[in-house]
């Protein structure tokens, strides 16, 4: 049963969840468009409307575990001007967008405390929202870089494998997806993902401290 603090944490997580999902998928679609593929544009996915990108299960995992996924933007790599370059850039675009939004969120958390102080409840409300947004974005970034289909990391890895291997892996992608879900719900990957996330957050800390010279 959820405690009052747990419910409050879920509520504060919603802005970060929406930012993480919206910009992750929008970045994929926009990068694909720049690489020569209009599929996302024609399907209405070049949008900042969160309803176009939310995956119910992935969003729930983001809220509960700080790791999750969104509804993939439709992309046709055959339209890319350069196939390998296009796939790699488009696959990296989503996680990179999360990295940037996470860093901005962390900097805004520092700025909120610096400008509003630590006594104001409104200041702490903003700080919590921005900090959680940072964790949400880093969680989505790290999770999607796992080299297991259908995540972004797998698409990058496959571009460096022989075609026959790519074909086999794509042929059994549904089974990899099932394995991925079992790993997520079983908590097998959580310790590793948490360590990676902590390193990214530590980098955010260094950047924010360098800008403001204070520690939250």
Cis bond upstream, residue 95 (ω within 30):
no
Residues ≥6 apart with Cβ < 8 Å to 51: none
Catalytic hit among 25, 159, 173, 205: 25
Place of tokens 């990295």: 99
Buried b (16+ CB within 10 A) or exposed e, 118-151: eeeeebeebbbbbbbbbbbbbbbbbbbbbebbeb
Give, rounded to a whole angstrom, the gap between the first and last alpha carbons of the chain.
Answer: 31
Closest CA to 196 of 155, 153, 139: 139
- Verify whether residue 205 is a known catalytic residue: no
The Cα–Cα gap between 24 and 134 comes to 13
User: CA 24, 26, 30, 33 torsion: positive or negative?
Assistant: positive
* Residues identified as active-site: 25
């Amino acid at each position: 049963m959820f405690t009052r603090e747990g419910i409050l944490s879920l509520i504060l997580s919603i802005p970060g969840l929406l930012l993480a999902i919206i910009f992750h998928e929008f970045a994929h679609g926009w990068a694909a468009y720049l690489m020569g593929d209009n599929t996302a544009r024609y399907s209405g996915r070049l949008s900042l409307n969160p309803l176009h990108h939310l995956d119910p299960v992935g969003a729930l995992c983001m809220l509960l575990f700080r790791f999750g996924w969104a509804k993939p933007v439709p992309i046709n790599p055959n339209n890319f001007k350069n196939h390998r370059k296009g796939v790699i850039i488009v696959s990296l675009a989503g996680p990179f967008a999360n990295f940037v939004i996470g860093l901005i969120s962390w900097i805004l958390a520092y700025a909120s405390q610096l400008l509003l102080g630590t006594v104001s409840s409104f200041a702490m409300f903003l700080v919590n929202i921005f900090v959680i947004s940072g964790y949400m974005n880093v969680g989505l970034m790290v999770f999607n870089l796992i080299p297991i289909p259908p995540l972004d990391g797998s698409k990058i890895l496959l571009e460096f494998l022989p075609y026959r291997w790519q074909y086999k892996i794509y042929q059994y992608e549904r089974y990899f997806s099932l394995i991925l879900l079992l790993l997520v719900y079983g908590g097998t990957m959580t310790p590793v993902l948490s360590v990676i996330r902590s390193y990214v957050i530590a980098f955010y800390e260094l950047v924010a401290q360098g800008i403001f010279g204070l520690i939250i």
